[in-house]
Amino acid sequence: MRRETLLRFVKFALTVAEAELPAYSHRKSPHRYRLAQLCACCLLKVLLRQDLRGIEALLSVSPELCKALGLKRVPDHSTLCRFENRWLTAERLDRMLGRVCELAGVKEGAVAADSTGLEASTATPYFEMRRGGRRKAYVKLSLLVALSGFLAVSAVGSSGPSNDKEQLRPLLVGLEKRLAASEFLADAGYDAEWVHEWCRDSHGIQSWIPPVIHRQDGKVGGRWRKLMAHGLPQDFGRRWGVETFISGLKRTVGSTLQTRSLEGQLAEAVGRALVYTLRR
């Protein structure tokens, strides 16, 4: 990765973290590092696919990165670990996505929803199949992406497999707080009348979702789902923007999680969405 890219990333990560985190954990703490500095170090770890010891070693030989982070001394990996476990929760990382959109000036436009799976083990599904086993549960990352800037607006981690609509409600809550959306685009996995009612009736958002046919007569129920059955707009293909975002996310920060606890994995999944959004 280019030097300019790394420096720009850590500076932006530091700005976002400062907007969300207090300066120090306690007024009587040693005050060796600001919480935002530790947060930027942890996010840099994800971007470079390092572990905590690896990012400690990298910072110790990179005065330029330390200067960009405002560090007078390199934090120990145990310090970063304690910070990560206490402060980088899935909810806080999701709120930081809203800070990124705010700082990037993304305030309105169309959004698209989709989800993807992140592996909780380094063993690939193909290996599990060849050895006669079954794929274990994976971590599901659900995203709302602003198509105007290709930035994640909100993200939710959950244990997969599960129905896409289960994670949609918290995503829409985040959308309501952060963006004045004009359109909501999603695939058939999000087809439900309540989704259209939330978007169109309650918030004035034009929702477009291909309806799934469940009835034997080939008809669909619901006022708005019937409208979807008459056809989607020609530019519905813009929904592919969220899949492009997910593809770039996996290529940039990887699809295999390092954390072993479920709570940590859910936070790490949202953290990867944040890191890729900062990277963009």
DSSP-derived 3-state class of residue 160:
coil
Torsion, Cα 161 162 163 165, to 10 degrees, reads -120
265: in domain: no
Domain end marker among 43, 59, 88: 88
Same domain, 78 and 167: no
Higher per-residue pLDDT: 48 or 127? 48
Query: In terms of residue numbers, what domain contains 67?
Result: 3-88
Burial class (CB in 10 A: 0-12, 13-18, 19+), 246: buried
Same domain, 68 and 192: no
Q: Number of structural domains, the chain?
A: 2
160: in domain: yes
Domain end marker among 39, 62, 88: 88
How many angstroms separate the CA atoms of 93 and 119, rounded?
20
Same domain, 178 and 208: yes
pLDDT computed for residue 56 by the predictor: 96
Count CB atoms within 10 A of the CB of residue 130.
9
Same domain, 46 and 115: no
Same domain, 43 and 118: no
How many angstroms separate the CA atoms of 154 and 172, rounded?
8
Q: Six-digit token pair at 124? A: 């690939």
Same domain, 76 and 113: no
How many angstroms separate the CA atoms of 265 and 68, rounded?
29
Instruction: Kindly list the distances between the CA atom of residue 4 and the CA atoms of 7, 8, 50, 127, in Å, as whole numbers in the listed order.
Output: 5, 6, 19, 38
Q: Residue 199 carries which side chain, given as an amino acid letter?
A: C
Each residue of 65-112: pLDDT tens digit? 999 999 999 999 999 999 999 999 999 999 999 999 999 999 999 999
Same domain, 54 and 141: no
Q: Is 90 exceeded by the pLDDT of residue 217?
A: no
Same domain, 79 and 116: no
Same domain, 110 and 222: yes
100: in domain: no
CATH of residue 164: 3.30.420
pTM above 0.85, yes or no: yes
Same domain, 60 and 142: no
223: in domain: yes
3-class DSSP string for 1-52: CCHHHHHHHHHHHHHHHHHHCCCCCCCCCCCCCCHHHHHHHHHHHHHCCCCH
Q: How confident is the model at residue 27 (pLDDT cuts 50, 70, 90)?
A: confident
